[in-house]
Amino acid sequence: MTNPNVSTVKASAVSIQQQVKKRNKFSRFARSYPLIIIGGIMVFTLAIMAVFAPVIANHNPITQYPEGLSDIGTPIEPNDNFILGTDSLGRDALSRVVHGSIVSLEVGIFASLISLIIGVFMGIVSGYFGSWIDMIIMRITDTMLAFPFLLFVIALVAVLKPSITNVYIAIGILGWATMARVVRAEVLKVKQLEYVQAAKALGSSSFPILFIEVLPNIMGPVIVMGTLAIGQNIMLEAALSFLGIGVQPPTASWGNMLQEGMRIYQIAPWMIYGPGIALIWATLGFNLLGDGLRDWLDPKTGR
Partner 1 sequence: MFSYLIRRIVGAIVVLIGISIITFIIAYAVPGDPARAIVGEKASEEVVQQVRHELGLDQPLYVQYFAYINRLLHGDFGFSYYNNQPVLDLVLSRLKDTALLAFSGWTVEILIGIPLGILSAVYNRKIADYIISVLSIIGISLPVFWFGMWLIYNVAFKMGILPIGGSGSIMHLILPALTLGIAGAAYYQRLVKSSMVDVYNQDYIRTAKANGASPLRITFKHSLRNGIIPAVTYAGMDIAFLLGGVVVTETVFNYPGVGQLAMQSIQRLDVPVIMATVLLAAIIVVVVNIIVDLLYFLIDPRISLT
Partner 2 sequence: MTETLLEVKNLKKYFPIQKGLLKKTVGHVKAVDNISFSVEAGETVGIVGESGCGKSTTGKTIIRLEDPTSGEIIFKNKDITTADYATLKKLRREMQIVFQDPFSSLNPRYKVGSIIERPMKIHNLYDKKERKDRVLSLLEQCGLDPSSIHKYPHEFSGGQRQRIGIARALALNPSLLVLDEPVSALDVSIQSQIINLLEDLQEEFNLTYLFISHDLSVVRHISDRIIVMYLGQMCEMAETIELFNNPLHPYTQALLSAIPLPDTNRKIERIMLKGDLPSPSNPPAGCPFHTRCPKVMDMCRQEKPQWKDAGKGHFVSCHIYNQ
Please report, as ranges, the residues that interact with partner 1 according to CB under 8 A.
139-140, 142-143, 145-152, 154-156, 158-159, 161, 231, 235, 238-239, 242-245, 258, 261-262, 265-266, 269, 272, 276, 279-280, 283-284, 287-288, 291, 302-303
Provide DSSP, 138-195: HHHHHHHHHS-HHHHHHHHHHHH-S-HHHHHHHHHHHS-HHHHHHHHHHHHHHHTSHH
Decide which of partner 1, partner 2, none touches 202; Cβ closer than 5 to 8 Å per partner kind. partner 2
Q: How far apart are CA 174 and CA 8, in angstroms?
A: 59
Torsions phi, psi for 69 (to 5 deg): -125, 150
From the list 156, 170, 44, the residue with the least C-alpha distance to 107 is 170
As a dihedral over the C-alpha atoms of residue 74, residue 75, residue 78, residue 84, rounded to 10 degrees, the angle is: -170
Which amino acid is it at 120? V
Length of the chain: 303
Candidate ranges 15-23, 47-55, 210-218, 224-232; the one touching partner 2 (CB under 8 A):
210-218
Residue 198's binding partner out of partner 1, partner 2, none, with CB under 5 to 8 Å set by partner kind: partner 2
**Min. distance of Cβ 200 from partner 2 in angstroms?**
6
**The one-letter amino acid at 26:** F
Q: Tell me which of 148, 159, 202, 303 binds partner 2, using CB under 8 A.
A: 202
Q: Which letter does DSSP use for residue 75 in this model?
A: B
Residue from 208, 244, 250, 269 binding partner 2 (CB under 8 A): 208
Quick one: which of 191, 67, 72 has its CA closest to 126?
A: 191
Alpha carbon distance 180, 259 (integer Å): 34
Out of 213, 237, 291, 298, the only residue in the binding site for partner 2 (CB under 8 A) is 213
300 binds partner 2 (CB under 8 A): no
Residue 217 binds partner 2, judged by CB under 8 A:
yes
Residue 225 contact among partner 2, partner 1, none, beta carbon within 5 to 8 Å by kind: none
201 near partner 2, rule: CB under 8 A:
yes
> Which entry of partner 1, partner 2, none binds 49, CB below 5 to 8 A by partner kind?
none
User: 266-292 as b/e, with b when 16 or more CB fall inside 10 Å?
Assistant: eebebbbebbbebbebbbbbbbbbbbb
Residue 107 CB, nearest distance to partner 1 (Å)? 14
71 binds partner 2 (CB under 8 A): no
- Determine contact, residues 107/231, Cβ cutoff 8 Å: no
Residue 79 touches partner 2, criterion: CB under 8 A: no
Q: Which is nearer to partner 1, 4 or 299 (CB)?
A: 299
Binding site for partner 2 (CB under 8 A): 193-195, 197-205, 208, 212-213, 216-217
